[in-house]
Structure 1
Amino acid sequence: MSILTFFPVVFIWIWILHHLKNRASKNEENQSKQFWKAEHDANSVRKMDLSNLPYIHIDTEKLPFKETTDPKLLEIQATMKDLSTKKIVNLVGQSNTDLKAAYGPANLDALSAYDANFTELIRTLSNWGTYLYEQGQLQDARVVLEYGILCKTDIKNNYVLLAKIYHKNNEINKITALIKQADTLQTLMKSSILSALKEIKDN
Structure 2
Amino acid sequence: MKFPFFASFIVLIIWLKYEIGKADRLKAKASDSFWDKEMQANNVRKKSLDNLHYVEIPYDLIPRDLLTEYEAMRDSLAMIDALSGKKIVNLNGITNTDLKLSYGTANITPLSEYDENYTKLITALYTIASLLYENGYAGQAVPLLEFGVMTGTDMSGYYRLLQKHYRSTKEPGKLDWLKSCAEKVEGMMKDSICRIVNEPEN
TM-score by length of 1: 0.88
Contact 2:129 2:144 in 1 (8 A): yes
What's the RMSD between the two structures over aligned residues?
2.0
Distance 1:15 1:176, change over 3 A: same
Contact 2:41 2:100 in 1 (8 A): yes
Contact 2:152 2:184 in 1 (8 A): no
Q: Distance in 2 between matches of 1:28 and 1:199?
A: 36
Q: Distance in 1 between matches of 2:18 and 2:105?
A: 40
In the other structure, the counterpart of 2:123 is 123
Distance 1:14 1:186, change over 3 A: same
TM-score by length of 2: 0.89
Q: Distance in 2 between matches of 1:139 and 1:93?
A: 31
Deviations 1:14-70 (A, max 9, x none): 222222222111111111111111111010111111122111111312332337742
In the other structure, the counterpart of 1:31 is 30
Q: Structure 1: 5+ residue runs without aligned partners?
A: none
Distance 1:4 1:127, change over 3 A: same
Distance 1:136 1:12, change over 3 A: same
Deviations 1:136-187 (A, max 9, x none): 1111111221221222222221122223333333322111211111121124
Q: Distance in 1 between matches of 2:23 and 2:91?
A: 32
In the other structure, the counterpart of 1:49 is 48
Contact 1:57 1:84 in 2 (8 A): no
Distance 1:111 1:182, change over 3 A: same
Moved over 4 A (4+): none
Contact 1:88 1:117 in 2 (8 A): yes
Distance 1:183 1:164, change over 3 A: same
Overall identity of the aligned pairs, in %: 37
In the other structure, the counterpart of 1:136 is 136
In the other structure, the counterpart of 2:76 is 76
Deviations 1:85-130 (A, max 9, x none): 2111111111111111111111111111111111112111111111
Contact 2:73 2:127 in 1 (8 A): no
Distance 1:173 1:4, change over 3 A: closer
Contact 1:122 1:151 in 2 (8 A): no
Contact 2:40 2:101 in 1 (8 A): yes
